[in-house]
Amino acid sequence: MTIKVVLADDQALVRAGFRVLLDAAPDLEVVGEAADGHDAVRLARETMADVVLMDIRMPGMDGLAATREITSDEAMAGVRVLVLTTFEIDEYVFAALRAGASGFLGKSVEAGELQEAIRVVARGEALLSPSATRGLITRFLAGHGASVEDMPADLAVLTEREREVMILVACGRTNDEIADLLGISRMTAKTHVNRAMTKLKAHDRAQLVIIAYETGLIRPRPTDRPDTAHTGDPAHAYHDRRGSEPSL
């Protein structure tokens, strides 16, 4: 199955470089190029792309607004957004994840890593670079404080098992790993994840991670420094809001 990709970046040379990298993979196809957010949204809708590689800083409609428009449109529910960034400003990347982006990559990414990242995001199986994503969230919340007033729903809507699965998603676990850890089938694990996303109105697993942090369901240990909290085994680096280790 060929994965359809839209490239959104205001620099033609950057788009050309990424096109070369993607054209080298037989299962990836660039179906459109956009120089601003408006074109990115239009092409995502017209081509029903599987993945949009989205630059954040673009003229007119920027990547954040474009991501929100794509992920809030039910007609494009199958379109995933992968943010391209220089990691200069965490707030922009964090905002993109909250807006529904499935993950992020640096623009200096290697060809093989980029290709595999697109495949991962297209499958919707797991967060891209979960340790980097957790590190970003940890740094951002450490500097700004966790705010829950903008959250879409209360965690009370989740069952105990759904909250447990959500903790493991926030720890970067895949559906297969969640199934093994909880002694359930992969399909059951996937069902719990999907139900949690539906109840919390999360477009993607990335939003589940952010909700888990912002609601205090999971947080760094008090002894962890923001710049190192994402390292090591996530099962030991984080604990739930009751102060105990996640049930692994």
What's the rounded mean pLDDT across residues 179-185?
A: 94
Identify whether residues 18 and 118 lie together within a single domain.
Answer: yes
Q: Greater confidence, 246 or 61? A: 61
pLDDT of 191 higher than 90: yes
Q: Which of 71, 99, 124 is the last residue of a domain?
A: 124
Domain assignment of residue 64, yes or no: yes
Identify whether residues 174 and 207 lie together within a single domain.
Answer: yes
DSSP 209: H
Domain assignment of residue 42, yes or no: yes
Q: Which of 124, 158, 178 is the last residue of a domain?
A: 124
CATH number at residue 213: 3.40.50.2300
Residue 101 near residue 54, CB atoms below 8 Å = yes
Instruction: Quote the mean pLDDT of the chain.
Output: 79
Identify whether residues 99 and 200 lie together within a single domain.
Answer: no
Domain assignment of residue 135, yes or no: no
Other beta carbons within 10 angstroms of residue 111's beta carbon come to 14
| pLDDT reported for residue 199 | 92
Domain assignment of residue 247, yes or no: no
Identify whether residues 117 and 177 lie together within a single domain.
Answer: no
Q: Which of 97, 124, 151 is the last residue of a domain?
A: 124
pTM, entire model: 0.70
Q: Greater confidence, 229 or 96? A: 96
Identify whether residues 52 and 154 lie together within a single domain.
Answer: no
| pLDDT reported for residue 246 | 37
Identify whether residues 160 and 216 lie together within a single domain.
Answer: yes
Identify whether residues 73 and 162 lie together within a single domain.
Answer: no
Which structural domain, as residue segments, surrounds residue 87? 3-124
Domain assignment of residue 136, yes or no: no
3-state helix, strand, coil in the chain (%, to 5): 50, 15, 35
| φ and ψ at residue 5, rounded to 5 degrees | -125, 135
* Residue 56: half-sphere exposure toward Cβ, Cα within 13 Å: 22
Sign, CA dihedral 67-69-70-74, equals positive
Identify whether residues 47 and 104 lie together within a single domain.
Answer: yes
Identify whether residues 12 and 54 lie together within a single domain.
Answer: yes
The tally of domains found in the chain comes to 2
| pLDDT reported for residue 135 | 67
Domain assignment of residue 203, yes or no: yes
Identify whether residues 162 and 225 lie together within a single domain.
Answer: yes
Other beta carbons within 10 angstroms of residue 32's beta carbon come to 18
pLDDT per residue as tens digits for the range 13-69: 999 999 999 999 999 999 999 999 999 999 999 999 999 999 988 989 999 999 999
Domain assignment of residue 130, yes or no: no
pLDDT of 1 higher than 70: yes
Identify whether residues 151 and 77 lie together within a single domain.
Answer: no
Domain assignment of residue 246, yes or no: no
pLDDT per residue as tens digits for the range 62-102: 999 999 999 989 899 889 999 888 765 667 777 888 888 88
pLDDT of 244 higher than 50: no
Least confident residue range of 8-12, 71-75, 225-229: 225-229
Identify whether residues 201 and 111 lie together within a single domain.
Answer: no
